[in-house]
Each structure stands twice: as C-alpha cells, then as structure tokens.
C-alpha cells in the first residue's frame, strides 16, 4: 500500500520582517481603471469645494478609495486600513477620521456632482466598447437590516428593522444606474419612488441611448401603478410590469380555451417543458391603462416547494404582466419579462459590495454610502466588461476577490522602474497580468 506523502510541513515559522511585499495587489487594477476612465479626476473636481486646505487629502480620491474598499470586501469606513497598508502600491490613503469627515461634508449638491462624475465615466466605458445592445432598466427593492437606531430605520413588512432601498440596474451590462434610500416601512408600489429612480437612472445614460421607444423598464407587481406607466408613456419608454391576479383576471384565465395557450421558451429560445403563455388583453378591462397595453399570462407546473395562491384543476401556477411592447411573439415577450429576475443577482452582488451594512446614523450620510456602493459595483462590472474574460468576467465579487483582488505580490525597484511580481504558481496570475495589459492599451477619451 502506497501512502501519499504530506506536502505541508508540520510547523511553519512565522516572522514579520518581509520587505517589498503587498497584499490585495489585484485591487490596484480597479484603482487604475478608475483613474484611466477619468472617474477619479471627475470626483476630485466634483468635490473640490469640500476640500478644507490644499495639503489635505483630495476628497475625490477619498471617495474613490472608499469605493475600492467596498470592492475589496470592506463594509465600513474603518476597513480603509487594509488599503492604507498598501501605500507603495495604491498611494496615500486617508485616515478613518479624514474619510468620515469627507463623507459627512457631501451635501445634496455634492451627491449630484458625484452622480454626474459617475455618468461621465459610464459614457467613456460605452465608447470603449462596453455599450449594451439594448437598454433595459430593471427596478427592484430590497431590505437592509439595521442593528441599531439609525435615522430613517423603520420596521418592515417582514418583521425586520432597517431600510427598504429601491434600486435600478441596466440588465445586459449589469451596471448600477440608480438607488433611492428609503425607510424600512416604505411601500413596494409607491409610484413617486419608482418615478424618481427611473429619472435618476435616465440621467446616468448617455444622450444617444435615450431615443424614443428604445428603452424598456421592467418591474414586479410593485411597478404596476398608473402614475408610473403614464410617466413612461409620456417619455416614450416601454414598460413591462407584473400584474396582480385579481378575481377578473382569474376568471379570464380559467375561461381561456386550451388552444389559446402556446409553449413558453427557455433562455436558449427552445420550448420549455411544462410552461405555456397566453394573452388576456381582450378578456380583461384594460381601459384605465395606456392605449396599447397588453396583459400576458404564464402558466407552468410549479417546482417542488412552490407556493400556490391560485390554481386550476391541474394545479398550475399563474403569473401575469402588463406591457406595451408590440412584439407579436408572446413567448418572446414572456421570456423578456421573466429575465427581470436577474436583478436579484445584481442586488445580491451589491450586498457583497457594501449594501449589507449602512454604517452611519444620519440618513443623508447613508445616502452617500449607497452611491459608493453603486460606484464600487460599476468598477467591478466595468473591469469584467473591458479587461477580463472567461470565468472571471462572470464571477461574483466574492470569487473575484479570492482569485484576483486579494493576491499577494512583491514590489521590485530596478532602473527607476517599479515592478509588481505575482506568484508564478497562482492559477490566475497570468489573467491579472493580461488585465493590466488590456487596461493600459484601452483607448479611453478622458478630458484634460
């Protein structure tokens, strides 16, 4: 019998005398991306008025560094310390006190200026090849728990306590477009909040992306309000929103002949087993909704454990949505609406990038924190779009940290050049080297 040798030594001597070593080396990729896209400079210009003296830390750099901290896995201002220890790689990082003071100095105008800087960087990303083929805005809310008495924190409908922010993402590119911080007791179908998020999201898009009827807004049943869809109609934006199974809708569904149902499709545009779609537009009174509104229903056999609130004699599960899209292919319309569920993945990633914890007591300061979460999420997304490929271009933040951002290296100075040497045995070292090469060859038009 052969015994596999133990490769790990039984004891490892540990010392703290290494020189030239850096950890979190991959985070420098995101710092350089922010600089090359002009985001760091734009943030500096946006917050120049808050700078107390010339010798102080640049507020724009502080905001950028806080966003990097969220990318790196931090969830509060004190986590800047992990980057501050990497000064030879990332430059001078503000202290926790300075960072706190910088964030608290940002007022409503400063917040607007940060959003404008964010939008400018997005425009350059799109010009460099990151523009999505279709503009689909997904709106959804999430619950963020507060573990102490914070301004605006309230009990929510699930029995918890905290906040209920409303977020908007660009589906195909996975970019964060807008967030509206709300108290925990904020309603799911508050039309004015949805309208505010849509308007904030539209301000993030380059002007050429906002042509008539080129944008689709998707939401769950909370978005099925007359005020929202009327506003979308006025601005020539299509909508696809969930619709409640009211008694008239249930009756219309049960009265449909079997011939009215056609096969639903899956993500590969292939017929989906156990799922059908049908149109209810002529069977339900849609007169209060904008002209051209259609009601589409999906019927499916429920997965194990699914909760049924309405079923026919075969035990099917039904969901409906309203849309004013003109596509005659009902299965395609239903698939388009069902893909809205991907917004939940974006929100999960946002919680990995600082949204799980709103660290301040003041509501206004937590609003700034939400913008930092958005910047952090977009820095990761833009890196994946522009300079990463393969599995790394699709990895969620936690995996990306373990494989790229937290890799250690050695900084070597020779002939007035600084070289970051990554471990040869690290499986993703070459991918990080290639990402830096692509970033530095990227044609990005940054204004002087």
What are the tens digits of pLDDT across the range 162-197? 999 999 999 999 999 999 999 999 999 999 999 999
Overall average pLDDT of the 203-220 stretch: 92
> Does 389 fall in a domain?
yes
- Measured CA to CA, the distance from residue 160 to residue 390 in angstroms comes to 39
What are the tens digits of pLDDT across the range 111-140? Answer: 999 999 999 999 999 999 999 999 999 999
> Does 398 fall in a domain?
yes
The total domain count for the chain is 1
Side-by-side strand order, sheet with 154-155: 144-145, 161-163, 154-155
What are the tens digits of pLDDT across the range 377-393? Answer: 999 999 999 999 999 99
* Confidence grade of residue 143 (pLDDT, cut at 50, 70, 90): very high
> Does 378 fall in a domain?
yes
* Confidence grade of residue 311 (pLDDT, cut at 50, 70, 90): low
In this prediction, residue 208 carries a pLDDT of 84
In this prediction, residue 117 carries a pLDDT of 97
**pTM, two decimal places:** 0.93
CB 354 within 8 A of CB 181: no
What are the tens digits of pLDDT across the range 46-59? Answer: 999 888 777 678 99
What are the tens digits of pLDDT across the range 392-406? Answer: 999 999 999 999 999
- Measured CA to CA, the distance from residue 230 to residue 233 in angstroms comes to 5
Greater model confidence, 246 or 305: 246
> Does 250 fall in a domain?
no
- For residue 195, the tally of other CB atoms under 10 A from its CB is 16
pLDDT of 445 higher than 80:
no
> Does 91 fall in a domain?
yes
What percent of the chain stands above pLDDT 90?
Answer: 79
DSSP letter for 339, please: G
> Does 263 fall in a domain?
no
pLDDT of 101 higher than 70:
yes
> Does 168 fall in a domain?
no
Written as one string, the DSSP assignment of 2-65 is: --PPP-S-S-----S---SEESSTTHHHHHHHHHHTTHHHHHHHHTGGG---TTSPPHHHHHHH
* Confidence grade of residue 315 (pLDDT, cut at 50, 70, 90): confident
* Confidence grade of residue 8 (pLDDT, cut at 50, 70, 90): low
Strand pairing of 135-141 and 215-219?
parallel
DSSP letter for 79, please: G
What are the tens digits of pLDDT across the range 10-57? Answer: 788 888 888 888 889 999 999 999 999 999 999 999 999 888 777 678
CB 38 within 8 A of CB 121: yes
Alpha helices in 47-178 (DSSP H): 59-71, 81-84, 87-90, 96-104, 108-125
Written as one string, the DSSP assignment of 206-269 is: -GGG--TT-EEEEE-GGG--HHHHHHHHHTT-EEEEEE---HHHHHHHHTS-GGG-EEEE-TTS
What residues make up the domain containing 410?
21-109+361-440
Average pLDDT, rounded, for the chain = 92
> Does 54 fall in a domain?
yes
274, two tokens: 């156990």
pLDDT of 317 higher than 90:
no
> Tokens 């734009």 label which residue?
42
pLDDT of 310 higher than 70:
no
* Confidence grade of residue 415 (pLDDT, cut at 50, 70, 90): confident
In this prediction, residue 19 carries a pLDDT of 84
Q: Is 281 helix (H, G, I), strand (E, B) or coil?
A: helix
Greater model confidence, 347 or 305: 347
- For residue 319, the tally of other CB atoms under 10 A from its CB is 18
């Amino acid at each position: 019998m052969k015994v596999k040798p133990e490769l790990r030594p039984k004891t490892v001597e540990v010392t703290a005398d290494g020189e030239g070593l850096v950890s979190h080396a991959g985070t420098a990729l995101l710092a350089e991306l922010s600089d090359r896209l002009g985001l760091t400079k734009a943030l500096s210009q946006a917050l120049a008025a808050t700078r107390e003296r010339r010798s102080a830390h640049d507020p724009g750099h502080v905001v950028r560094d806080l966003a990097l901290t969220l990318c790196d896995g931090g969830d509060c201002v004190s986590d800047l310390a992990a980057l501050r220890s990497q000064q030879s790689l990332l430059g001078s990082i503000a202290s926790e006190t300075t960072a706190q003071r910088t964030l608290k100095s940002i007022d409503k105008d400063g917040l607007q200026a940060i959003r404008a800087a964010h939008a400018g960087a997005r425009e350059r990303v799109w010009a460099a090849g990151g523009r999505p083929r279709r503009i689909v805005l997904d709106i959804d809310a999430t619950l963020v728990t507060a573990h102490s008495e914070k301004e605006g924190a309230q009990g929510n409908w699930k029995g918890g306590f905290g906040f209920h922010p409303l977020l908007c993402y660009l589906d195909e590119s996975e970019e964060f477009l807008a967030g509206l911080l709300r108290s925990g007791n904020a309603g799911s179908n508050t039309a004015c909040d949805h309208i505010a998020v849509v308007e904030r999201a539209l301000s993030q898009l380059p002007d050429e992306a906002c042509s008539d009827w080129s944008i689709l807004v998707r939401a769950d049943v909370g978005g099925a309000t007359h005020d929202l869809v009327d506003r979308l109609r006025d601005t020539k934006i299509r909508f696809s929103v969930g619709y409640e199974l009211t008694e008239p809708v249930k009756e219309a569904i049960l009265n449909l002949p079997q011939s009215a149902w056609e096969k639903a499709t899956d993500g590969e545009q292939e017929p989906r087993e156990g799922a059908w779609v049908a149109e209810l537009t002529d069977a339900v009174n849609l007169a209060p909704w904008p002209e051209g509104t259609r009601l589409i229903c999906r019927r499916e056999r429920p997965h194990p454990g699914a909760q049924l609130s309405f079923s026919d004699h075969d035990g099917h599960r039904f969901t409906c949505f309203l849309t004013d899209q003109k596509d005659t292919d009902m299965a395609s319309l239903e698939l388009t609406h069902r893909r809205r569920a991907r917004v939940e993945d974006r929100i999960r990633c946002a919680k990995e990038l600082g949204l799980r914890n709103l660290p301040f007591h003041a509501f206004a300061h937590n609003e700034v924190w939400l913008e930092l979460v958005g910047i952090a999420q977009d820095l990761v997304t833009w890196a994946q779009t522009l300079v990463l490929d393969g599995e790394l271009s699709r990895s969620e933040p936690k995996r990306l940290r373990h494989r790229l951002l937290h890799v250690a290296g050695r900084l070597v100075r020779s002939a007035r050049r600084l070289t970051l040497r990554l471990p040869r045995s690290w499986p993703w070292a070459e991918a990080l080297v290639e990402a830096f090469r692509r970033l530095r060859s990227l044609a990005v038009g940054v204004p002087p």
